[in-house]
Structure 1
Amino acid sequence: MTEQQLIDALSSGRLSKVRIDKLVDEMELHPELTLTLLNRVFEEDKKDEFNASWVLDHLLRKKLVYILPHFDEFTSGLAELKSESCIRPMAHICQMVTEAYFEKKNSTFIENIKANQLERIMTACFDWLIGQHKIAAKVFSMTSLYYLGMQFDWVHPELKLVLEETIAKGSSGYKNRASKTLDKLVALGH
């Protein structure tokens, strides 16, 4: 697959799950195209399109390490996202990264991710959690923030406060994840 073939595929109208899976399979053979895909996410966000973000999310579910060479670009662009259809998969990627870093203690992630990049994820996740966003972005964000609080000690008290203030008004999915997150925070002594 060439860069132009990837761009053409992403520009060919809404992608079916089957087509996304095919693109992911092709991308696995061409990790050098990951930056092109990431750049398309930020371009599509401005047009309220989301093919690239969906493909990137599915690619990184299989090969999360593909984001590492472009992690600075990834984290730098998070705060600029506006489209809910792009924010959800990017929030999911943040959750996968924080799980790899903090829960799984994957040395490849620990060695390649800088504190300022984690701070950018933290800022975006707090914005998505407290802003007018859909449930999936909020759920992924609260999980990422829980993990980030393992390194940044002020995060857990702030996360707890936000969840306590918002849990009653949340959907059943939000309440479920918020309740589980609050239980984990209490277990840590917060």
Structure 2
Amino acid sequence: MTKEQLHQKLNSGRLSKVQIDGLVAELEQHPELVGHLLQEVFEEDKGDTFNASWTFDHLMRKKLPYLLPFLQPFVDGLETLRSQSCIRPMAHVCELLTIAYFKKKDPAFQKNISDENLEQLVTVCFDWLIGQNKVAAKVFAMTSLSHLGEKFDWVHPELKMVLEQTISSGTAGYKNRAKKTLDRLKALRH
């Protein structure tokens, strides 16, 4: 597959789950196209489609290490996202990254993700958590922040405060993840 073919497939109308899965299978064989796919995500954020971001999320679920060569443009681009259809899958990728770095302690991620990258993730995740975003993005952000707080001492107290202030007005899904996150934060203090 070429970058032109990738562009054409992503921009040929709304893709079904089966089509996304097929595209992901092709991209697994072409890691060199991940940078182009990422560019498509940031381009589509200006429009009203989400094929690229959905494809990116599904590819990262299978091949997260493919992100490492493109980590800086990924992290730099997160704060520019405005479309909920793009923020949600990118927030999920952030959650996958923080799990790989902190929970799984994957050496490839610990070696290639700088403290500056992690600080950028903290900023964007707090923005998503406290901003006018849909629940899924907030849930992924709070999980990422609970991991990022293992590196940055100030994050957990801020996260706890935000969750305690917002849990009562959240949806069932938000309340569930917020409670689990607060329980995790409490357990980490002991």
Superposed pair shares fold, TM > 0.5: yes
Match of 1:30 in 2: 30
Listed as ranges, the gaps of 5+ residues in structure 2 are none
Residues in 2 aligned to 1:118 and 1:53: alpha-carbon distance in whole angstroms: 21
1:71 aligns with 2:75: no
Deviation by residue 1:64-115 (Cα, 9 ceiling, x = unmatched): 0000000000000000100000000000000000000000000000001111
Structure 1: gaps of 5 or more residues? none
C-alpha displacement at 1:48, in angstroms? 2.5
Map of 1:21-170 to 2, 5 A cutoff? 21-170=21-170
Letter in 1 for 2:46: K
Alpha-carbon distance in 2 for matches of 1:189, 1:67: 32
Once residues 171 and 185 of structure 1 are traced to their aligned partners in structure 2, the CA distance between those partners, rounded to angstroms, is 21
* Matches of 1:188 and 1:90, distance apart in 2: 27
Give how far 1:120 is off: 1.0
CA distance in 1, matches of 2:75, 2:35: 13
Matches of 1:174 and 1:157, distance apart in 2: 19
User: Considering only aligned residues, what root-mean-square deviation do their CA atoms show, in Å?
Assistant: 0.8
Q: Please report how far the alpha carbon of residue 189 of structure 1 lies from its aligned counterpart in structure 2 after TM superposition.
A: 1.8
Q: Deviations over 1:113-165 (max 9, x none)?
A: 11111111111100000001000000000000000000000000000000000
1:183 corresponds in structure 2 to 183
SS in 1 for 2:153: coil
**CA–CA distance in structure 2, aligned partners of residues 184 and 20 of structure 1:** 34
What is the aligned length?
A: 190
Q: Which runs of 4+ in 1 moved over 4 A?
A: none
Equivalent residue letter for 1:125: C
3-state SS of paired residue (2:132):
coil
Q: Partners of 2:158 and 2:142 in 1: how far apart?
A: 11
Work out the percentage of aligned pairs sharing the same amino acid. 64
TM-score by length of 2: 0.99
CA distance in 1, matches of 2:117, 2:86: 19
Shift of 1:169: 0.1
Deviation at 1:14, TM superposition (A): 0.5
Secondary structure class of the residue paired with 1:80: coil
Structure 2 residue matching 1:46: 3-state secondary structure = coil
In the superposition, the TM-score normalised over structure 1's length comes to: 0.99
Following the alignment from structure 1 to structure 2, what is the Cα–Cα distance between the partners of residues 16 and 76? 29
Greater mean alpha carbon deviation, residues 155-164 or residues 41-50: 41-50
